[in-house]
Chains A and B, each alone.
Chain A
């Protein structure tokens, strides 16, 4: 019940394309769903986050879509750029964070 399932494990997208990463959760007590971005040699950093009372949140080229009834949420990166190449983690939070297994995104120039 604690798990957050993330897919795909890796993703290759052409520059200018749309990158989509999906997550599914089971714990209905999660009250916060962040996405973290991690570059090689760095710690994860918060990219964008959503609370379960909202169905969509957009910040620049990054959008979270949230489907509470299906217990799924996804990250969309519009106009993907080579600088977006990183590992992305979704998470759900109660008193602690449960992270997905990560998606390694590569955007080809």
Chain B
């Protein structure tokens, strides 16, 4: 089954404690990205990766890091989480072909920073 898998689904942490949210896809997609979803703001892109070892900032990258060492994995790292990073996070992947269409989303990770 084609899917994007995120872990954990729920996470409560304290300010300043480093955390990693994992993302893995099994569709051999080149393009992967992270979004955060906040009420009234929709889906905002944090970082994206066009392929292995190629990453770039999205619209709201401050306080986040990513890496793309393998095609299937794209972890999101919060080195020093703060309460304003409390949000619902989604990883997504898609093909970068000329006729590429659908972006596949993970189930989401609800992060609370206290």
Is A92 located at the chain interface by the 8 A CB criterion? no
Please report which residues of chain A, range 49-107, place their CB below 8 angstroms from some CB of chain B when the two chains form the complex. 49, 89, 95-97, 99-102
State which of B48, B90, B101, B106 has its C-beta within 8 Å of the C-beta of A96: B48
When chains A and B are docked, how far (Å) is the Cα of A42 from the Cα of B35?
A: 14
Contact B41 A101 (CB under 8 A): yes
Number of interface residues of B (CB under 8 A): 22
Complex interface residues of chain B between 34 and 56 (CB less than 8 A to chain A): 35, 40-45, 48, 50
Contact of A89 among B42, B102, B106 (CB under 8 A): B42
Contact for B42 among A42, A46, A96, A101, CB less than 8 A: A101
The residue of chain B having its C-beta at the shortest distance from the C-beta of A102 within the complex is B42
A43 CB, nearest partner CB in chain B, Å: 3
Please tell me if the beta carbons of A46 and B45 are within 8 angstroms of each other in the complex.
Answer: no
Q: Which residues of A contact B (CB under 8 A)?
A: 6, 9, 32, 34, 36, 41-46, 49, 89, 95-97, 99-102
